[in-house]
Amino acid sequence: MYDSCHFYAADPIEKVNKDLFTPIGKFFPFAVGASNKVHQASVKLDPNSDRYTAVNFTHVELLAFLKEKANIPAGKIDQLLLDAEGAEYELVPYFAVGGPLETAGYDVCQMNTELTMATI
């Protein structure tokens, strides 16, 4: 990667992800969401399976992740990848004009998001 590019990954499933992401950046073993909490998440414990399992994980609020865990200063985030297995809906207000990211000084230039079908 270029010297000015940095990669950060947060995923509560360490089994495969730590080895996958550590060579190219910094890995954090927790979920990111709209609040700090322990919450149930639907995850693939076995990457070779299509089966999801409900497990309680620590979630770190998005701005707390950026500022306190990843130590990413306010400014431009060129590319944000988000696969939150259902938690992406609670994060939508963060990306609105005048939302928490903009208010904190973060500008997200590009974002790829997997939107998981919401359950009612």
Ranges 8-17, 60-69, 82-91: which has the least confidence:
82-91
Residue range 99-116: mean pLDDT, rounded: 93
**pLDDT over 80 at 118, yes or no:** no
Per the CB < 8 A criterion, the answer to whether 69 and 31 are in contact is no
Evaluate if residue 3 carries a pLDDT over 80.
Answer: no
Domain extent listing, the chain = 8-114
Position with higher pLDDT, 50 vs 65: 65
DSSP letter for 118, please.
Answer: P
Which band of pLDDT confidence, cut at 50, 70 and 90, is reported for residue 70? very high
Position with higher pLDDT, 51 vs 104: 104
Per-residue pLDDT at 63 exceeds 60 = yes
Quote the CA–CA distance of 47 and 72 in Å, as a whole number.
29
H-run or E-run covering 93: none
Q: What count of Cα atoms within 13 Å lies in the side-chain half-sphere of residue 83? A: 8
Which residues are CB-contacts of 103 (< 8 A; sequence separation ≥ 6)? Answer: none
Mean pLDDT, the chain, rounded, equals 88
